[in-house]
Amino acid sequence: MQAMNKTASILDAAPRTDEAAIHELYQRAMDGWNRGSGTAFAAAWVESGHLIGFDGTHFTSRAQIAQYHEPLFQTYLKGTRLVGQVTNVEFPAPGVALMHAHGGTIMAGASTPTPERDSIQTLVAVWREGEWQLLAFQNTRVRPIGRDAAGTLLWLVSDIVAVLAAGAFVACSEQPPVAPGVTHNMHNMTADVVTLDLEPFTFRAPLDPYRIHQLPDFLIHSNARTDIVIQRLVFDPGAGPWHTHPGPSFVYVIEGELKIERFTKKDGCTETSVFGPGSAYFEVADEVHRAVVVSAQSAVLLVTRFNVPVGGAFTIPAADPGC
């Protein structure tokens, strides 16, 4: 009876509709991140609080949240800042608050959030020890499939890569692929892609002849058995070598900025506009081209290549056309 009375008194002391305090709690979590401190960031949670990244990574305590983020604030996340806005708050029970928010990330050296890292977030707060604290935080990247070519391509490539990593295809590297486990790298709070392992990889596997006709304006087919190749590439700043590919390639930019210089007998030397994080482009089969990384940082790309001869080369060196 005493325990029940104690619990009742705690709930009675909890503000029932103090939306300002819930907004302040959300800001407290962002402020901890912006200080570059895993401990300060995690302090917004109860001791047994939960944080779930959009990729499913699940932290189940304040200590885990702090321990995981501390080294990231010294490396990948150094200098990043979170911004966000609580969009609605509800109080389903005394001492319990449900809120939704839109979050964004300002990368180191930038002044505005990167749209590709925007998130929608669901948070549960509880009244503990005389203050509101986070009990649960679910983070989801805002990237509706079909919204645009870049978003759709990332969904497609991500799904294919997940299958490859699970061992459904054979890797070209000497080491076998390792499937991600339940504790693989997460995209923290705003699904920040910079927390990913960005080491290069290559997977390939044969595809039987296929014909995909998606009305009204999409058609892709192959009359022969060919390979599909999935790669994550890292290009250093500057111009790469001239080359061609035997089939079309679709490319998504994760990090860095680059342009593509091309040469054809008809048009001579041309170049594309600059592609940055979250943008996508395609490469035509047998076209002489090269990537030129114009950013100070390396460019990291996800690439899907079709119509590659089974077991054959998918990148073929080409002579310098003099562009």
Closest CA to 43 of 55, 60, 59, 31: 31
Considering the chain, tell me which residue range(s) the CATH 3.10.450.50 domain(s) occupy.
Answer: 2-141
pLDDT, position 50 = 96
pLDDT in tens, 265-322: 999 999 999 999 999 999 999 999 999 999 998 999 999 999 999 989 999 999 999 9
pTM above 0.85, yes or no: no
pLDDT in tens, 146-185: 555 555 555 555 555 444 444 333 333 333 333 333 333 3
CA distance 17 to 44: 19
Homologous superfamily, domain 200-317: Jelly Rolls (2.60.120.10)
pLDDT, position 195 = 40
Judge: domain 2-141, CATH 3.10.450.50: yes
Considering the chain, tell me which residue range(s) the CATH 2.60.120.10 domain(s) occupy.
Answer: 200-317
CA distance 319 to 256: 26
**What percent of the chain is modeled with pLDDT above 70?**
76
pLDDT band at 58 (very low <50, low <70, confident <90, very high): confident
CA distance 247 to 227: 10
